[in-house]
Structure 1
Amino acid sequence: MNQTADLTEKTLSREEKYQGSFLSLHVDQVQLPNGRTSFREVVEHVDGVAILALDDRNNVLTVTQYRYVIGKTLLEIPAGKLEPGEDPVAGALRELKEETGAVPDTFLPMGVTLPSPGCLSERLYLFLAKGLHMESQQLDEDEFLNVERIPFNEMVHRVMDGEIEDSKTIAAVLKAKVLLNL
């Protein structure tokens, strides 16, 4: 019979390595459940939001932008970082309007995803937006992207075919597929 073991790791020491504007890096020495020690490299990152926005024809508002870290453009749903103390709903509505100009009538939470919990602290809040009214974009001065409308079922196929690699977009599309039964 399996017993539930305590899998908690205890922090023994921390060495700060880098402090940036929205992330920091530290290396912790930890005590493992078996009493041995190991090291954990941790990126503390501000939380974020991502929004799957559906228009009245079930098209998804997407953004394509160059992602320097991986050296290519990606098709994604609108997303962004939360400001310190900002409510995820307010942040998501702000990011949706800034990136696409869309303002929704209906705005539903679809849960939280942890993009890479082995090393990254970020929580990403997912939302579904419907009943869109279009206003003007308000991009940040260092933000360059293209907005496109793609049929929802095509997004599902692109996710399942591996064409869409962005994890927040994959999670939101599949959650919306189940939630809306489309």
Structure 2
Amino acid sequence: MKIAVVGASGMVGSRVVAEAVRRGHDVTGVSRSAGGDATDQELMDSVLSGVDSAVVATTGVTSTVVLDAAFATRTRVIVVGGAAPLRTPDGTGLVLDDERYVPPHIRPVAEASMRQLEECKAHRADWVYLSPPALLEPGERTGSYRRGTDELLTGPSAISAEDLAVAVLDELESPGTDRHFTVASRVPAAG
């Protein structure tokens, strides 16, 4: 499969690239550090015209440009966003509005992920939005994870960037039915 990764040099994007290569896929990376501008509609149209799927591993304004290109080229897109749009496990509201998960200094980034999902919902492109759990950081690739829908998974609400990349590639290779889903690490067995 030919895959474009927007944000290919970031924490998530670089792991998605590595996982895709590990699985034998042909990857085209777009990143600011390599001189790529994901807000350049002509560039995105060109990049997506030759791929089967795309992954957006950036937050904010690039989503609409990539979604426009995906719609024009009939390319499926997975947008890796934030946890803010997920429902809280206790059903009281959104993660965005719960200071247990989103302290005030993180709120602007969380609000950007909310806008990103709203951009997806308003677009006609073939998109899927992946919300990581509350904690996402570099770590070990175990190759396993739990999958949920639009509610924050707990116990723990964490995943390594490497296992998030596994989930992204699993979704590309075997698409699920949910437009918005989340993943988290497997719960360790009680011992």
| TM-score, scaled to structure 1 | 0.24
Larger strand fraction of residues: 1
| TM-score, scaled to structure 2 | 0.23
Structure number, greater radius of gyration:
1
